[in-house]
Amino acid sequence: MIPSIDLRDFLSGDPVKKANFVAALGKAYTDIGFVAVKGHLLEDDVSQQLYWQCQEFFSMSEEQKKKYEIPGQAGQRGYTSFGKEHAKGRNEGDLKEFWHFGQTVTGNDPIANEYPANVMVEELPNFNKYGLLAYKQLEETGKYMLRAIALYLKLDEFYFDDKIFHGNSILRPIHYPPISAEPKSAVRAAEHEDINLITLLMGASAEGLQVLSKQNEWVGITALPEQLVVNVGDMLQRLTNNVLKSTTHRVVNPPREKWGTSRYSIPFFLHPRSEMRLDCIPECVNEQNLLAYEPISAGDYLIERLREIGLK
């Protein structure tokens, strides 16, 4: 079991509950890199509606879905067809198709020029409606998670706030289709680490997610319906000079009797603005933990990683 914490403790205004939340979160991220979060800001109805809409979208014909696959955007918005993405260091495509919702910029923030527009699905107006609602609620939840992480790292509580405002985050509904023939490998998504600061995963429709423990064993994780699973990504690992570890995880194929079933999963990849520096923070560099990474911006790091996984 991964540790479970309640975000309402952090938001309670009670300094003892808040401090206990920060300590429990820090321990979970130091020990395994994943935590289950209750009391988050994603509404049950929004979550349920989005899952229904995803099933509707992915059951459309290939011809209909391909209308929403946009060349030249490295898969950053709209539809990405089956097998296009692969894990870093692998050539074989993962057994999935997916969609990307991105940031909606309000006001006069010039960062709007960096982001492609969200793609609207004409056939399913509620797909976009609930996708963008879930995006905002998960982004808000992530903001508070990062405030707790900042306190754990002995930084100012609001260290991340301006860095993630209008950040380059992505909400990714994923469909792993039924397996119709003997698969080449045992995994729907090969072992990998996430690129971003943190990932917030809505309860998945089926088991299959596994994380690699410090004992080098694969441990199964299922998000309960009322929980989010939140893990550390490579950007946060880099920023903290490996103090917080980005955990290796994968999605394995179901047992043979369940090959005929689809699996749906909706992770929210919380990214900062491209200008955020990922240079290791001084609080995490000392004689016991020597500097491990070269300076780089979040934008340059993202481009580097998108090339490695075959999207750019």
Confidence (pLDDT) at 281: 96
Helix-, strand-, coil-residue percentages of the chain, each rounded to 5: 35, 20, 50
For residues 130 and 207, the answer to whether their CB atoms sit within 8 Å is no
- Give tens-digit pLDDT for 260-270: 888 888 999 99
Q: Which helix (H) or strand (E) holds 209?
A: strand 209-212
The Cα–Cα gap between 267 and 270 comes to 9
- Give tens-digit pLDDT for 283-301: 999 999 999 999 999 999 9
For residues 259 and 201, the answer to whether their CB atoms sit within 8 Å is no
What percent of the chain shows pLDDT beyond 70? 91
Q: Which residues contact 117 (CB under 8 A, 6 or more apart)?
A: 77
Is residue 205 pLDDT above 60, yes or no?
Answer: no
Q: Write b or e for each residue in 281-306: b if 16 or more Cβ atoms lie within 10 A of its Cβ, otherwise e.
A: beebbeeeeeeeeeeebbbebbeebb
Q: Which residues contact 296 (CB under 8 A, 6 or more apart)?
A: 238, 277, 278, 279
The Cα–Cα gap between 116 and 102 comes to 8
What percent of the chain shows pLDDT beyond 90? 65
Q: How confident is the model at residue 164 (pLDDT cuts 50, 70, 90)?
A: very high
- Give tens-digit pLDDT for 51-102: 999 999 999 999 999 999 988 777 789 999 886 555 555 555 567 899 999 9
When divided into structural domains, the chain yields a total of: 1
Number of other CB atoms surrounding residue 132 within 10 Å: 16
Query: Domain of 78?
Result: 4-308
- Give tens-digit pLDDT for 212-223: 888 888 888 876
Confidence (pLDDT) at 206: 55
Rounded to the nearest integer, the mean pLDDT of the chain is: 89
The Cα–Cα gap between 1 and 90 comes to 29
The tokens for 110 are 């010039």
For residues 260 and 221, the answer to whether their CB atoms sit within 8 Å is no
The Cα–Cα gap between 1 and 21 comes to 18
Distances in Å between the Cα of 94 and the Cα atoms of 87, 186, 188, 250 are: 7, 11, 6, 10
The CATH code of the domain that includes 224 is: 2.60.120.330
